[in-house]
Amino acid sequence: MLAAPLPTVEINPAQAPIAVVIWLHGLGADGHDFEPIVPELHLPNDLPVRFVFPHAPEMPVTAFGGQRARAWFDFGADGGADLPGLKKSVRRIHDLVQNEIDDGIPADRILLAGFSQGGVLAFQTALYYPKPLAGILALSTFLADAEGLGSDTAAVNAQIPILMCHGQQDAVLPIALGRSASASLQGAGYELEWREYPMGHEVCLEEIQEIGRWLQKVLHPTG
């Protein structure tokens, strides 16, 4: 049985988009969470980007005592990601990417972004995607399957641009997790940019400004 399409919040530019950012929220949030950030990125008029913010489905969440919340996957008793649940969400993000391709946006103009649990999903989707994508923006997050890097990941995305940002005072996902993910990616041959900020499990203005600059660099037409 096919899963129903994920509901999304979309922010479209005044002109026809030439690139798309699919931005995945964290545990317990929804697609509106990062919607207010878009104007703060200050993308230029000659870079019309569509932002797609999907809502994760609701499910019982172990970290919340079994209460239902929006989540891309559950965490196991050991605190690790539920990989079967994560892979189910990967397939649903594949569908979103395909929707944009069907709408005329090439895969290499589609960037995956994610915060916290959404960043885990962005990594798991993009690194294994069979077509080259534009980049990965990973905020306050970690890698769920570092052992699979290189051997199982898609060669077409071996050179994918990656920006990782993390808070030095993050008490939810300590910065050591982000640093470990960065080291694993670099050890597998991926080039990435790493930024850390004096904050907790959140985003800050300096980080948002850096994200805006990076998106312009990665998504701006070169032709």
Tens-digit pLDDT profile for residues 55-113: 999 999 988 888 999 999 998 656 678 888 999 999 999 999 999 999 999 999 999 99
41: domain CATH number?
A: 3.40.50.1820
User: Rounded to whole angstroms, how far apart are CA atoms 174 and 166?
Assistant: 9
User: Rounded to whole angstroms, how far apart are CA atoms 176 and 189?
Assistant: 20
Sequence-ordered list of residues with C-beta below 8 angstroms from that of 2, at least 6 positions apart, any chain: none
User: Rounded to whole angstroms, how far apart are CA atoms 121 and 144?
Assistant: 9
Mean pLDDT calculated for residue range 193-216:
98
Q: Which two tokens stand for residue 94?
A: 């594949």
Max intra-chain CA distance, the chain: 52
Burial of 16 (0-12, 13-18, 19+ CB in 10 A): exposed
Q: Considering the domain boundaries, does residue 1 fall inside one?
A: no
Q: Considering the domain boundaries, does residue 2 fall inside one?
A: no
- For residue 147, what pLDDT band results from cuts at 50, 70 and 90? confident
How many domains would you assign to the chain?
Answer: 1
Predicted model pTM: 0.95
Tens-digit pLDDT profile for residues 112-135: 999 999 999 999 999 999 999 999
User: Rounded to whole angstroms, how far apart are CA atoms 44 and 92?
Assistant: 30
The helix (H) or strand (E) run that includes residue 19 is: strand 19-24
User: Rounded to whole angstroms, how far apart are CA atoms 53 and 114?
Assistant: 10
User: Rounded to whole angstroms, how far apart are CA atoms 56 and 9?
Assistant: 12
Write out the catalytic residue numbers. Answer: 116, 170, 201
State the residue range of the domain holding 82: 8-219
Amino acid sitting at position 223: G
User: Rounded to whole angstroms, how far apart are CA atoms 58 and 3?
Assistant: 13
> Could you tell me how many helices (H) and strands (E) the chain has, helices first?
4, 9
User: Rounded to whole angstroms, how far apart are CA atoms 128 and 161?
Assistant: 14
Beta partners for residue 162, in sequence order: 136
How high is the mean pLDDT of the chain? 93
User: Rounded to whole angstroms, how far apart are CA atoms 74 and 61?
Assistant: 6
